[in-house]
Structure formats: C-alpha cells, structure tokens
A and B are shown apart, each in its own frame.
Chain A
Amino acid sequence: MKKLALGLMIAVPLALLAWTAHFILSAPSYDWNVNPTPAQLDAAAALRDHLYMQAAYTVTWAIQLGYLAWLVMKWQAQKQ
C-alpha cells in the first residue's frame, strides 16, 4: 500500500508535466491559416489562451507535487 502511494506520488507530477507539454503543443500555431477571417483569428486566440492558462496551472502543480514526492521519499529513506 505504501509503495503504491509512493508510486502515485511520483507518477502524478510526471503525468502533469506531460499534460503541460500537451497543452502547449496542441495550441494552434500563429501561422495556421494564410488568410484567416477575424472570427477565425479570435477563435484561435481564445483557444490558445485557454490552453496556455491550463498549461501554467498544470505545471505549477507538477512542480509542487514533484517536490512533495521527493520530500516524502527522503523522509521514508531516513526512517529505514
């Protein structure tokens, strides 16, 4: 049970990091359309904003939980 919890503590930050990369990479690029209409430009910008915001929130949690996992591992090692 302890090993499973520790495994999860390591896996979750790594998954969040991968998720962050997914958000950034899946955002529409700036030159996706040669002649975009204003509506298409607005839609792409809104989607980009949303994905980038999600990326920022996700990476924050990836770093915080990653550090917490490292701390718990260190603590467990000391107990042994």
Chain B
Amino acid sequence: MKKLVFGLYALLTIALLIWGYYQAIYVAPLDERQGEIYRIFFYHVPIAMVSSVFFAVSLAGSIGYLAYRHSRPERAQIFDAWALAGAEVAVVYCTIILVTGPIWGRRAWGMWWTWDARLTTTLVLWLIYMSYLLLRRFAAGSQMQTVAAVLNIFGALDTPIVYFSTHFQKVIPTQHPAPVFGGGPDSGVKDPRMLAAWGWNLAAWLAWGLLILALRYHVERQQQTIEAAEAQRALEA
C-alpha cells in the first residue's frame, strides 16, 4: 500500500513538472521588456520560494533534536533525520538558485555576479548549510549531532535576512528585483497566464521537493538503523 501511494505521488509529481514546463515555455506570453530570458523566473522564483520550506523543515528538525536528545533519544533521532534531509534538499534548491540567477543576470545586467545584498546573503546561506552538511559528513563522536543542530539553528537566521535583503533598498542598494509578492507596489505578476505558469511550477517544485525529502529521510533512517546495529555488534564482540 505504501509503495502504491508513493508511486502514485511520484507520477502526479512528474505530471505536474511536465505541465509546469509546458505552461512556462508555451503558454506564458513573452515579456515586453525582457523577451524570452524572463522565462528563467518560472523555475528560479518557485525554487527559491520552495527552498525556504526545506530550510524550515531542517530548522524544526534541529530544534526537535535538541529538545528530545536526553529525554527521548529515539524521537530525537527521527528529528535529526528530518534536519539532515531538509538541509540537503534545501542546499540542492539553493544551488539551483545560485546557478540560474547568474544566467539571467548575465543577460539582464551584463554580468554573471554582483555583490549585492540578495546575492551575497544567499551565497552566505548556501555556505553555512554546506558547512553543516560537511560537518555531518566528516565529524565523528557523540557531540556531532548536537553541534550540527546548533549550527543549523544559527544558519537558519540568515533565511529571513535573505528575504528582507531587497526590502531595504535605501540602506543596502541591491540590483536584484523585488520579491514577486509583498515586494511593494511594482511587485506581483500582472498577466494571468504568467501567474498560472508561475503557480503550476511552484506546485510542481514543491511536490518534487517533498518527494526527494521523503526519500532522503527514509535513507537517513535506514542509515541510523545500520549504525545502531553495528554499534550493538561491536559491543557484543
């Protein structure tokens, strides 16, 4: 039954991704000012928005781990698996933002990169979570999970800074466009076909992200079981 539900969900996700691509490339009209290059936004913006969901999952996982690590160790391991899975998927999404953004920037601004507030804070966020993942990969010992959870909580503080970095144009000048929603009078999607394409891609990338998040969580839980069994065997030997 579980496999059937997973298979159906995976099929639905693939259908959503194909539909989202069709909407972005063939249905949404050309932008008057930017031409075809603006279609990058149909991937870049939804992926950026969805990435915050996975940063939040990771943060909640780390808080849960710290809260339960002494009282309920088994539950703490579940939270820790969510923290790691969320951080990994968030880093994948963040990597895409950092790659597709400069491709658009090269055409729109004439340069691949500029050290403005939005770009720099996003890069810092990516570096913090990469360091979290490297810590998880290479550090050993009983304190590793605790240290990683603390790093995760401090790293998550950068997430609102990334979002609000384009709101303080007078304080920190930025070239990056304002957020699609809640970014002031000029923000928002005016054409309903553009809005539809954007909405379908948001749903598709959220569905895809949840799929790989569930898969990563499953793999991590299995890894924890294997490590616990190995530790038990070592004790018995």
Contacts and interface: CB of A to CB of B under 8 A. Distances in A.
B144 interface: no
Interface residues of B, number: 29
Interface in B192-237: 208, 212, 215-216, 218-219, 222-223, 226
Contacts of B96: 59-60, 63-64
B18 to A, nearest CB: 12
A19 interface: no
Contacts of B103: 24, 52, 55-56, 59
A18 interface: no
B99 interface: yes
Interface stretch (A2-10, A31-39, A41-49): A41-49
B99 A59 contact: yes
Contact of B219 (A45, A50, A55, A74): A74
Q: Of residues A46, A55, A60, A74, which shows the largest number of chain B Cβ atoms within 10 Å of its Cβ?
A: A60
Interface in B91-122: 92, 95-96, 99-100, 103-104, 106-107
Interface in B20-74: 21, 34-37, 39-40, 43-44, 47
Contacts of B223: 78
Contacts of B104: 52, 56
A23 to B, nearest CB: 9
Contacts of A75: 215, 218-219, 222
Contacts of B212: 64, 67-68, 71
A74 B84 CA distance: 15
Contacts of B47: 60
B99 A50 contact: no
A71 B208 CA distance: 14
A75 B92 CA distance: 18
Interface of B: 21, 34-37, 39-40, 43-44, 47, 88, 92, 95-96, 99-100, 103-104, 106-107, 208, 212, 215-216, 218-219, 222-223, 226
27 contacts: A24-B103, A45-B35, A48-B107, A49-B34, A52-B103, A52-B104, A53-B36, A55-B103, A56-B44, A56-B99, A56-B104, A57-B21, A57-B40, A59-B100, A60-B96, A60-B100, A63-B92, A64-B92, A64-B96, A67-B88, A67-B212, A68-B212, A74-B219, A75-B219, A75-B222, A78-B219, A78-B222
